[in-house]
Structure 1
Amino acid sequence: MKTYARLLATMTFLCAVSAAMAQTLKGVVKSGESGEGVPSASITLQGSTIGAVANEKGEFEIRVSSLPASLTVSSVNYEAQGVTVVNTSFITVSLKPMLGQEIVVSASRFNERLIESPVTVERVSAATIKNTPNASYYDIIGKLKGVDVVNASLTFTSPTTRGFAGSGNTRFNQQVDGIDNQAPALNFSVGSIVGLTELDVESMELLPGASSALYGSGGMNGTLLINSKNPFNYTGLSFQVKGGAMNLGNKWRDASPYQNYALRWGQKVSEKFAYKITGEFIKANDWLARDYRNYGRVGTNGMIKDGTRDTDPNYDGINVYGDETTVNLKALLSGIGGQVPFWQSYISQLPENIPVSRTGYTENELVDPNTLNYKVGGALHYKITPKIEAILMGQLGAGTSVYTGSDRYSLRDFQIAQYKLELKSDNWFVRGYTTQENAGESHNLTATARQFNEAWKTSVTTDANGNPTPQPTDWYMQYAFAYMNAKMGGMGDAESHNLARSVADDGRPAAGSAEFTKLWDETRLRPIYQNGGLFLDKSDLYVAEGQYNFSSLVNNAVELLAGGNWRQFVLNSENTLFHEDDGPIKINEVGAYVQVGKEIIKDRLKLTAAGRYDKNEYFKGRFTPRFTAVIQPAKDHNIRLSYQTAYRFPSTQQQWIDLAVGSGTLIGGNRVIWESYDLIDNPGYSAQEFVADPTNRIPVPYKEIKPESVVSYELGYKALLAKKIFVDAYVYTGTYENFIGRRDVVQFYDEADPTKYRGISVVVNSDAKVKTFGWGMSFDWRLPSNFSVNGNLSSDEIKDVPSGFRSSFNSPKYRSLLGLSNSGFGPNDLFGFNLNWRWQDKVVFEGDFASGTLNPIHIIDAALLYKLPAIKSQLKLGANNLFNEYYTNAIGNPSIGGLYYLAFTYNL
C-alpha cells in the first residue's frame, strides 16, 4: 500500500509541476490596414496540434508548455505570420491583408485559394455582409459579375448566372451547409425564405456556369454554397434590429414600415460539445405588382398589346386576375337572335368574333400586403474525436409571400422544414437530410379570381355534358342583352360595351367588403379541382450523400476524391398541382463522382479531371465530365482553362405538372398526362402559327422528353497587381442539346368549329442546339486610408433559338456595377461607408406568366456605418434604391422602390 501511495503522490506532484510550468498567452489579432480586430483568426503552436481561434474582436488565449514559443497566426484575406513569444505579456499581431487569398471549396470541393481556382468563383465574406448596404444579405449575390436576380416579392429572390433568369430557376443549384435548398414540389431554391439568418452566415460562394460534374442535376448555370458559423468558433450572443420604411412615393400603396429582427446564440460548452440557436423575423408591406398593361393570351403564352378596360372589351391586365375568362359574344348573340327576331338581321352583320372578358380584380385588391417571414434553427455539434465532428441540425422557414410561376401565387402560411444529421472529418463526410414542404393556405390568384367570379355570378350555364345552356342570370347573357339594347339605341360600340359591363357587374362585390372577403376566403380555401384556388402541397425530399478525400492515402501524389448520393422526391399535392391519379409520386435518383488533380509543373501548371454519373428512374443515366487547367506564368497571375459539361433531368413539374392557369393548362412531359388529354390521338397545333393564321395548323406530336445537357468552354484570368488590385476576367461559350422549354398548342374539340379549342402548354425538347456565349470582368482596388474601389461588367447572349420556342433566357446584354467604400475613417476610424451603382440593359423577358420588354435599370445603394467598440456593436444607416426609382426585373413581378433602414447589430 505504501508503494501505491508513493506512486500516487509522485504523479500528483508531477502534474502540479507541469501545470505550474504551462503558460497562458493572451493577445489580439488586428488588420494591418484598418486596425480592426480580425475575428476567427487561427493561432497555432508550431510543431504541435495546439491551437486557438480569435473571438469577434480578434482576442485570443492559448496555453503553451514553455517559453519561448513560436506561433503561426493566419486568417483568410491575410498573409500568415510567424510570431516568437518570449514572455507572457499581451501580444498584438498585425496581419497584412491579401486580396485573392480567400479559401474557397466550391470550385473543386478542395480547399484552395481563390486566385488559384480552376473555374470562375465569386466569394462573399462575413465582412462583406457586415458592410453591405443591402437590407438582406441574400441580395448581395445580385451585385456579383454575371449574376441576374428576379424578385417575385420582398422575400422571394431567385439568382442565376449565364442566362435563363426567372422566378425559380431549375438550372441553378443552391446549398446551405450541404443541404439542397430547393422546395421539392416547386423544384427550385426558395431564396432566403428558408435557410440561414444574416448573423449566422460565415460566407457565400458562387460557382457560375456548368457545375453538374461535382454537384449533380440542375447545376446547368451555376451553384451557390452558403456556409454557416460553427458554434465552436463563433460563440456568445448576437442580435440585430433593423427598422425602416418602404413604398415611399407609391400612389398605389401607402408608405409602410420595414422590420427585421435576428438573433443568434452560440455556446461552446466544452472541447467536445457546442450548440447554436438562431432566429429571424421580417415584417413589411410587400412591393406591389401593378403592371396593368393589356395582355393578349394564347394558351399560356401571349404578348402585350394596346388597350385598357375602357377601350378593349377583352382586356386582360397582367396583374389583374379573373379577367382571363373570355367568350365570343357573337356566338351568344346568334342564339339570342332566335329569341328576338327583329335583332337577327343586325346580329348577322356583326363580326364573327367579339371576345369579351369578365371583370377582374387587381393584386392590390386580392393579396394581403402584410409579408411575414420567420426562420428558426438550431444545431448540436459534438466532437467524437478531435478530428471527427457530429452535427444534428434543424431549421424551419415559414410565413407569407408572393411567388411568380405560371401564375402569381399568394403563399400563405407556407412552411419548409429541413433536418440534417452529419458526420465529418478533414478528409470525409457523410450526411442525411430531408426537406419537408407544406403549402399551407397558398393559392393561385388567377384560378381563385376566376372561380370567385363564377361563385358570384355564373359566366355561362352549362348542362351535365358541358354544353352551354345560357340563362338570364348569367353574366354574359346580361352583358349580351344590355349590349344589344345599347347598340339598337344608337350608342357607339365602345360605349355599348362599357354600358353592358356596368349592367352585368351590378352588385359585384367590392374588394375589402364583408361580402367580398367571405366569398374570397371560401374560394381560396377550396382546392383547385373543387373550383377553388388552393393547392395542397405536402411534398418531401430525402437525401443521403458522402465524400472521401483519398489524397493522404496516396501520399498526396495527386488530389483524389470521390463521392455519391441518393435522393428521393415524394410529390404529394392531392391533384392540385401534379397528375396524381395513383397517389403521391416517388422519383428516385442516384449519382457518383470522382475527381483527380495533379500539379504537373510545380507552381506553374495544375490539371484536374472530374466525372459524374447520375441516374433518374424515369430517364437514362447521364455522365458529365470536366477538365480544367490552371497556368501560372508569374507569381499572383493565373490563367484558367476549362471544359465543363452539365445536365438536368426535367424538373418534377416538367415531368408531372397538371395545372389549369389563365386561359390554358400546363402539363408535364410524362406520356400518361398527354394520354389523359387525348393529345396522342388528337394532337395540338402550334399556337404561334395558328394565331397568325387560323387555317395554318402545324401538329405538335408527342415526343418523349429527354434530359437537357450543355457543353461549356471557359477561358479566365486572375491576377493580383502590386498587392493592391485584384482582377478577374472570363469568356465562355455554351452549347445546349435537348434544350427543355415549353411550347403552346391549341387542341380542337371539333375540327369543323374553329372556336372550340383549348390552349395547352406542353414540355418539349428543342430539336436544334441552342448556343450561349458571354464574358465578364471585375476589379477590387485597395487604396490608402482604408478606401476601396470595385466594379464589374458582364454580358450574356443566346442564339439559334428555334421559332416558337420559349427559351426564357431573360438576361440583359450588358450589366455593370461600380462601388466605393471605406472601412474606417474619422476619429479612431469609427466611421465607414459603402456606395455602389448598378445598371443593366433592357431585357426582352419571356415567362410562363407573361412576356414583354423590361426597361433599363439604374440603381444606387448606400450605407453609412458607425462602430461602437465599447459595446461590440455597429450602427448602419442604409438605403436600397436610394433615389426611389421604381423598377421591375420580370414581367408581372412587383415594382421595387426604395427601402431605407437603420440597423443596430450587437456582436456581429
Structure 2
Amino acid sequence: MLLFCGLSYSQTTISGSVQDDNGQPIPGANIIIAGTSTGTVTDFDGNFSLNTNLTPPFELQASSVGFETVVEAVTSNNQKINFILKEGTSLDEVVISASRTPERIFESPVTVERLGLKEIRNTASADFYDGLENLKGVDVNTNSLTFKSVNTRGFATFANNRFMQLVDGMDNSTPALNFPIGNLVGMTETDVLSVELLPGASSALYGANAFNGILFMRSKNPFNHQGISGSIKRGITSQEAAGDNDYTDLSFRAAYKFSNKIAAKINFGYLKGTDWAATSEVDKINPTNTRANLDYDGINVYGDEVSANIRTEAPDAIKGIIPDVVVSRTGYNERDLTNYNAESIKSDWGLYYRPWENDFEIQYVGKVGTGSTIYQGTNRYNISNFFQQQHKLEFKNDNFFLRGYVVTDKAGDSYDMVFTGININRAWKGDKQWFEEYIGTYAAATLGGATEAQSHAAARAQAESGRYLPGSPEYQSAFNRSINDPDLSTGSKFQDASKYYHSDANYNFSHLIDFAEIQVGGSYRRYSLNSSGTIYTDLDGTIDYSEFGIYTQIQKNLELSDALDLKLTGSIRYDKSEFFDGFLSPRISAGLTVNRNHNIRASVQTGFRNPTTQDLFIGLDAGRAILVGSAPDNLDRYVRTFEISDEGQTLGQPSSVTQTGRVAYENSYSASSVLALADSGNPADLVVANPDIIKPEQVSSAEIGYRGKFSNLIVDFSAYYNKYTDFISQEVVISPFYGTAGDNGLSVAAIANDDYQAWSTYTNSKADVNSYGASIGLSTKVFGDFDLSGSYTYAKLDFDRAKYPDFTTNFNTPEHKFKASFGNTDLFENFGFNIAYRYSDDYFWEATFGNGLVPEYHVVDAQINLRVPSFKSTFKAGATNLLGDEYFTAFGTGFIGSMYYVSWTINNL
C-alpha cells in the first residue's frame, strides 16, 4: 500500500479543452508534453485529460491540422488548461513527403498537394480517395466504381506505373500488375490521418518508380488516436445503362493504448455497389461502322475481334467470286460477360511498441484486402475476388526509420472478358468452321443470283447457326468453362501469385550536426513473378530479379536578413537494376522567403524509371496483337506456332511455323507501313521496324513556383518543363511468317498472303518527347467565414506524332482543367456544407485497349453535414455529379453517372 501510494502521488494530471477562435470545440487535436512523445487527443467535445509521471513545471503543446500550434506552461498538478487555437492557412500545414522531413508547405522546395482531416471530413466527394479529384493539377481517371487511377502531369493509362502510391511507407502496387489499383485494398477512411501528393519526378529521394509523382497516405497512430470510431454510408448509384443500384460503404476502427509502451489498432472496411456499365457499341477502328458492317469491332463487344479476309481463306476453286473483304465474327456485349459487381473488403491491424516510452517505436502492421472491380488494360478484365496482403516490420524514431515488408497477391477468379467472348464463340463453333460456312454459303448464294448484300446476309445467318444466346444453359456452361480455364486458346482465366520483398531505411543527422540537415538512406526490392504463364513467360517457374538504390540529401537554411530567408536543398540518388547500368538522379532546389509571407522556389532534377515487370517479362496474346516483353532472356521464352496459308505453301513454305517473341524485335515491319501497303499495293511503302530492346527512361525537369499570402488571399503557383530521353512506350509491329523484313521479296509475299502476326513490343522512342505546364491555386474567405478556392491547370505535350505514327506516348491529360469549391464548416452551429466543381477540356486518350476522344465535362459534387456532439456524431448527405450529365475519363470505360448518399460517422477523431 505504501508503494501504491507513492506511485499515485507521483502522477501529474492535466485536463482541459481545445477550441478554435470562434469558441467551437476541436475534436482530435493533439495534446503532447513538449520534448516527449507522451500525449493524448481531444474527444468529440474538444476535451482532454492527460496523466504523466513528470513533475511540473513543463510545457504542454496543442496542435491540430489547419490551426496554429499553441504551447502552455504546466505549473501544478490537476491544472486545467483551455487552449484557443487560431485557424491557420493551407500554407501552414506540415508535410513530410517533399524532403523526407517535417516542414510547412509554405517552405517546401517542390510542389505539394495535401488533404488533411478537415478536408477529408468536408469533401463533397463520396470518400477521401475520390476527393483527390479536387486537388490542383491532379487527374483521376475512373476505371470503375472501386478502381480509380491517380496521376499528375500526364503520361498515364490505368496501368499507371509512372506513379507511386505509399500507405504508411509501404508501396501498395500489386506485384502482378506493377501499379496500384486505386484504394481497392488500401485504407479505410476512419483511419486516414493525412494524404499528401507530390507531383512530378521524385527519383532523387524515392527511386525508380517515383517518376511522375507519389501519393502518400498516412494512418492514425494508436498512441495518439484512441477509441472506437465507425462510419456507415448508404445510397444509390444512378446510370442510364445500369439503372439505380444500392451502394454501401462501411468502415470501423478500434485503437487502444494499453500503456505508454504498448498500443494497438484494427481497421475494417466494406464497400459494395454496382459498377458503371460499359455498353458502347461504337466501332473501335471506324466509328461510323455499325453492327451491320462486315468487319465490325465494337468497343464493349467481345468476340468480334476474330476476323479474316474471306477471299484469302476461300478455296482456290471459288476465290474468283469471293470479295476481297474482311469479315468478323459476331461478338457478345460486355454486360453479358460480367455482373458489374463492385466490392471491396479490407482489414489491417498494427501492434506498436515504445520500449523506453519515448519517440523510439517498433511497429508490426498487417494488411489484407479482397475485392471485385473492372480493370482496363490491353483488354477489359473482370477482377473478381482479387486478394492482396502486406506485412511490415518497422523500427523508427524522429531521426531514422528501418522498415521491411512483403506484398503478395492472388488473381482469385479474375478473367479476361475479351477472350471470354472469343472462346464462348469457339465453344459452339470453331473459327475455321465458322469462316468455311460463311464462305461456302456466300458462294452458293452468289451463284444462285443473290446480290452481294443478300449473299453476305445469308452467309452470316448460316455461320451463326448454333450460336449460344446469353442466358441460355449452353451459354452459361461455356461461360463457366472459359473463366475457369487459364489457356487463352480455350479459356480466359488469370492465374497469379506474385510477390515482392522491399526494405528501405533513412537516417537524419540533424540532431548530431548543426550546420545543415543531412540525410542518407537506401532501398532494396526483389520481385518474384508467378503467373503460371498466363501473364508472364513464367510457365516453367517463377521469374526473380532485384534492384536497389542509395541516396543522400543536405538542406541548409540561411537567414540573409530580417526579411529574407534562403533554404537550399541538394539530393542525389543512385539506383541499379540487375538488368541495366546504374543511374544517378540529382535534385537541387532553392526557396527564398520574403517578409515571412512570400516564398519563391526553383528546382532542377533528373529522374528515371526502370522498365516494369510487364515491360520485361510479359508474354500475352491479347487478340489483335501479342504482347511480348523485351528482357534479353524473355524473347525466346515466348513460343508460338502459326498456320501458313495455302498461298504461302505454294511458295514452298511448310503448313505451319514456330516462332518466338524475338521476331518482333529482329524481323518486323511497322504497323503503319503495312497499312500503307494495303492501300497502295506498293512494297516500297514497307518500313522495317525491328525495335530496340528496352532500357530505362530518363527525364530532366525544371520547376519554378510561388506561395504567398495577401491579407486573406492564399496563392500557390507552379510551372514546369520536362524533357524525356529514351521514352518508354509500346510499338505495334508486324512480323512475317517467312522471309526477312526488308528483303523486298518473300517477306512482302507473306504480308500479301496475310501470313504475319501483329506484336506489341516494349521499347524506347527515338523521338524527342517533352511536356510542360503550369498550375495556380487561389483560396480565401468571403462573406465573413465562407471558404472559396479555385485552381487552373495547363498541360501540354510536345511530340512529333506525324514523324512517329507507331509510337504512342499515352499522355492522356486535358490541356485545360479548372476546379473550384465553396463552403462553410459552420454555416450555423454544427452545420456545414461544401460544393465542388470540376471542368476538364476534351483530350485524346490512347492506350492498348483503344484510342478515342474524351469529350469535355463539367461535374458538380455537393454535401451538407450536421454535427451532433451529444452523440459524438456527424451526419452527411451528399451527391456526386449532381447535374446528372454522364461523362467518362477514358476511352472504353462505362459512363460515370451520379451517386446520392447519406452517412453517419461516429467518434472519428
- Scaled by the length of structure 2, what TM-score is found? 0.91
Displacement, 1:57? 3.8
Distance 1:254 1:482 in 2: 42
Confirm or deny that 1:700 pairs with 2:683. no
Distance 2:734 2:392 in 1: 46
- Equivalence for 1:96: 86
Displacement, 1:49? 7.3
- Equivalence for 1:163: 154
Whether the 8 Å contact between 1:679 and 1:702 is mirrored in structure 2 is: no
Whether the 8 Å contact between 1:40 and 1:56 is mirrored in structure 2 is: no
Give CA-to-partner distance per residue, 1:483-509, whole Å, 9 cap, x none.
Answer: 334444554434432332222212311
Confirm or deny that 1:348 pairs with 2:320. yes
- Equivalence for 1:679: 663
Distance 1:595 1:622 in 2: 17
Confirm or deny that 1:565 pairs with 2:509. no
Q: Choose from 806, 809, 816 the match for 1:807.
A: 809
Structure 1 residues 643 and 817: CA distance shift in structure 2, 3 A: same
SS in 1 for 2:421: helix
Structure 1 residues 367 and 48: CA distance shift in structure 2, 3 A: closer
Structure 1 residues 773 and 269: CA distance shift in structure 2, 3 A: same
- Equivalence for 2:716: 728
Give CA-to-partner distance per residue, 1:243-276, whole Å, 9 cap, x none.
Answer: 111134x1x3232111111111111111111111
Distance 1:74 1:115 in 2: 18
Residue type at the aligned position of 1:332: E
Confirm or deny that 1:384 pairs with 2:365. no
Aligned residues: CA RMSD: 2.1
Residue type at the aligned position of 2:50: I
Whether the 8 Å contact between 2:867 and 2:875 is mirrored in structure 1 is: yes
- Equivalence for 1:690: 674
Structure 1 residues 14 and 892: CA distance shift in structure 2, 3 A: closer
Q: Choose from 509, 512, 519 the match for 1:550.
A: 509
Give CA-to-partner distance per residue, 1:639-694, whole Å, 9 cap, x none.
Answer: 01000211100000001111001221111112344342341796110001221234
SS in 2 for 1:745: strand
Confirm or deny that 1:741 pairs with 2:729. yes
Distance 2:157 2:315 in 1: 44
Whether the 8 Å contact between 2:345 and 2:371 is mirrored in structure 1 is: yes
738-747 or 47-56: bigger deviation: 47-56
Whether the 8 Å contact between 2:720 and 2:772 is mirrored in structure 1 is: yes
Whether the 8 Å contact between 1:150 and 1:165 is mirrored in structure 2 is: no
SS in 1 for 2:718: strand
Residue type at the aligned position of 1:483: Y
SS in 2 for 1:207: strand
Whether the 8 Å contact between 1:34 and 1:823 is mirrored in structure 2 is: no
Whether the 8 Å contact between 1:78 and 1:97 is mirrored in structure 2 is: yes
Structure 1 residues 492 and 680: CA distance shift in structure 2, 3 A: closer
- Equivalence for 1:579: 537
782-791 or 676-685: bigger deviation: 676-685
Q: Choose from 359, 371, 376 the match for 1:399.
A: 371
Whether the 8 Å contact between 1:55 and 1:233 is mirrored in structure 2 is: no
Whether the 8 Å contact between 2:30 and 2:39 is mirrored in structure 1 is: no
Displacement, 1:350? 4.8
Q: Which runs of 5+ in 1 are unaligned?
A: 1-7, 297-303, 339-343, 461-473
Structure 1 residues 549 and 900: CA distance shift in structure 2, 3 A: same
SS in 2 for 1:294: coil
Distance 1:680 1:847 in 2: 20
Displacement, 1:371? 1.6
| Count of matched residue positions in the alignment of Structure 1 and Structure 2 | 859
Confirm or deny that 1:320 pairs with 2:301. yes
- Equivalence for 1:823: 825
Distance 2:454 2:119 in 1: 59
Residue type at the aligned position of 1:58: G
Identity of matched residues, %? 36
Distance 1:677 1:638 in 2: 54
Residue type at the aligned position of 2:253: R
Q: Which runs of 5+ in 2 are unaligned?
A: 637-659, 739-746
- Equivalence for 1:213: 204
Q: Choose from 219, 225, 228 the match for 2:219.
A: 228
Structure 1 residues 529 and 639: CA distance shift in structure 2, 3 A: same
Distance 1:421 1:52 in 2: 24
Whether the 8 Å contact between 1:42 and 1:51 is mirrored in structure 2 is: yes
**1:766-845 correspondence to structure 2 within 5 Å:** 766-783=765-782, 785-801=784-800, 803-804=804-805, 805-826=807-828, 829-845=829-845
Whether the 8 Å contact between 1:43 and 1:54 is mirrored in structure 2 is: no
Structure 1 residues 70 and 442: CA distance shift in structure 2, 3 A: closer
Q: Choose from 406, 409, 420 the match for 1:434.
A: 406
Whether the 8 Å contact between 1:173 and 1:180 is mirrored in structure 2 is: yes
Displacement, 1:768? 2.5
- Equivalence for 1:370: 341
Residue type at the aligned position of 2:13: T
Whether the 8 Å contact between 1:40 and 1:233 is mirrored in structure 2 is: no
Q: Choose from 599, 610, 614 the match for 1:649.
A: 610
Structure 1 residues 490 and 869: CA distance shift in structure 2, 3 A: farther
Displacement, 1:145? 1.3
Whether the 8 Å contact between 2:428 and 2:466 is mirrored in structure 1 is: no
- Equivalence for 2:587: 626
- Equivalence for 2:397: 425
Residue type at the aligned position of 1:577: I
Displacement, 1:71? 3.8
Structure 1 residues 530 and 479: CA distance shift in structure 2, 3 A: closer
SS in 2 for 1:348: helix
- Equivalence for 2:650: none
- Equivalence for 1:470: none
SS in 2 for 1:821: strand
Distance 1:578 1:725 in 2: 53
Confirm or deny that 1:270 pairs with 2:272. no
Displacement, 1:565? 1.0
Distance 1:282 1:503 in 2: 46
- Equivalence for 2:655: none
- Equivalence for 2:855: 855
- Equivalence for 1:151: 142
- Equivalence for 1:73: 62
Structure 1 residues 476 and 641: CA distance shift in structure 2, 3 A: same
Distance 2:168 2:218 in 1: 5
Displacement, 1:89? 6.9
423-432 or 677-686: bigger deviation: 677-686
Structure 1 residues 680 and 777: CA distance shift in structure 2, 3 A: closer
Structure 1 residues 601 and 668: CA distance shift in structure 2, 3 A: same
Whether the 8 Å contact between 1:528 and 1:535 is mirrored in structure 2 is: no
Whether the 8 Å contact between 1:29 and 1:41 is mirrored in structure 2 is: no
Whether the 8 Å contact between 1:447 and 1:528 is mirrored in structure 2 is: no
Residue type at the aligned position of 1:519: A
Displacement, 1:54? 2.8
SS in 1 for 2:355: strand
Distance 1:435 1:13 in 2: 50
Structure 1 residues 124 and 330: CA distance shift in structure 2, 3 A: same
Give CA-to-partner distance per residue, 1:141-169, whole Å, 9 cap, x none.
Answer: 12111111211111111111000131121
Distance 2:371 2:275 in 1: 13
Residue type at the aligned position of 1:365: D
Distance 1:379 1:681 in 2: 48
Distance 2:451 2:445 in 1: 8
- Equivalence for 2:41: 53
Distance 1:50 1:838 in 2: 43
Structure 1 residues 69 and 594: CA distance shift in structure 2, 3 A: closer
Structure 1 residues 66 and 227: CA distance shift in structure 2, 3 A: closer
Structure 1 residues 601 and 530: CA distance shift in structure 2, 3 A: same
Structure 1 residues 776 and 681: CA distance shift in structure 2, 3 A: closer
Displacement, 1:562? 0.6
Distance 2:665 2:476 in 1: 44
Displacement, 1:36? 3.3
Give CA-to-partner distance per residue, 1:533-570, whole Å, 9 cap, x none.
Answer: 1121110010111111111111x320111111111010
**1:9-28 correspondence to structure 2 within 5 Å:** 18-19=9-10, 24-28=13-17
Whether the 8 Å contact between 2:617 and 2:628 is mirrored in structure 1 is: yes
Give CA-to-partner distance per residue, 1:65-89, whole Å, 9 cap, x none.
Answer: 7778754433332222343567857
SS in 2 for 1:384: coil
Structure 1 residues 71 and 681: CA distance shift in structure 2, 3 A: closer
